[in-house]
Amino acid sequence: MIKILYIGDICGRPGREAVASVLPELRKKEKPDIVVADVENLAHGRGATVKTVREVMSYGIDFMTAGNHIWRRPDYEELLSGEFPIIRAANYPEDIPGKGFDIVDLGRKGRVMFMMVQGRQLMNDSVTTDMLRPIEKILENSRDDNLEGIVLEIHAETTSEKVATALYFDGKLSAVVGTHTHVPTADERILPNGSAFISDIGMVGPMNSSLWVKAEIVQQQLRYPFAPSYDIEEDGERRFDAVLLEIDSRDSCTSIKRINKVL
């Protein structure tokens, strides 16, 4: 059995502070074999820097994923160079920096593959291709690999894309988890053929914000055609959203449990 703690999008300094506060004790309590997190919003809500990535790794994060906002800071080149345990969406063209999957060796527990794809609907990204073909290609190429688990993250705006993709690969992956909307969903379950699924893990960051943005900025945007640039909410309560996966094979999972905390 492999236990994976998978953390939702970490947003800015409030998110990093929440990780520092929650993760050490959570690791002691749940004893995960690996901790994974989406870090595309790590630096003030947009993109990530080498400094902020190293910071959250020091708190106990072992492996990271990077969605569409990773390109917003020039550090993406170094972060995706292979020096750091970070992947980006697999459905980008091959000449884009980084890679869409990686295999982590957990010693006696075996090897786990993590992969990521990005949705097409409402993402304002014309570069990505469809999601299904890249996943199929990775799975085909890894057929002979000795893998104890395969986890897919779908970074997408629409739940329909996430659900349809998860059902398409049900029984071929250990788990499929969604990110990007920053709102935790209550649909965690084991699918008919054994794969675990949740539409969106949620986020780690300021609770009383609009997905990490100061609410008054978005409220002004709703009222007028002009608004100040986005700025992160630094004050108030923070939320910490994650899921705990218990994987028993490369194509099935025994349990998926939401972890939602307010600090």
Question: Which 3-state string (H, E, C) describes the chain?
Answer: CEEEEEECEECHHHHHHHHHHHHHHHHHHHCCCEEEEECCCCCCCCCCCHHHHHHHHHCCCCEEEECHHHHHCCCHHHHCCCCCCEEECCCCCCCCCCCCEEEEECHHHCEEEEEEEECCCCCCCCCCCCCHHHHHHHHHHCCCCCCCEEEEEEECCCHHHHHHHHHHCECCECEEEEECCCCCCCCCEECCCCCEEECCCCEEEECCCECCECHHHHHHHHHCCCCCCCCECCCCCEEEEEEEEEEEECCEEEEEEEEEEEC
Decide if 182 is catalytic: no
The pLDDT tens digits for 65-90 are: 998 999 999 999 999 999 999 999 99
Q: Of residues 44, 69, 155, 180, which has the active-site annotation?
A: 69
- Rounded CA gap, 225 and 218, in Å? 11
Domain extent, residue 232, equals 2-262
pLDDT of residue 125: 78
pTM over 0.85: yes
Model pLDDT, residue 7: 98
Within 8 A by CB and 6+ apart from 123, the residues are 68, 156, 157
pLDDT digits (tens, 9 = 90+) for 18-68: 999 999 999 999 999 999 999 999 999 889 999 999 999 999 999 999 989
Name the residue among 181, 203, 192, 198 with its Cα closest to residue 245: 198
Residue 113 sits in a domain whose CATH number is 3.60.21.10
CA distance to 35, 74, 77, 90, 251, per residue, from 104 (Å): 11, 26, 21, 17, 17
The total of structural domains in the chain comes to: 1
HSE at residue 232, side-chain half, CA atoms within 13 A, is 21
Please give the residue that has the higher pLDDT: either 233 or 101.
101
Single out the residue of 85, 75, 92, 71 nearest to residue 113, CA to CA: 85
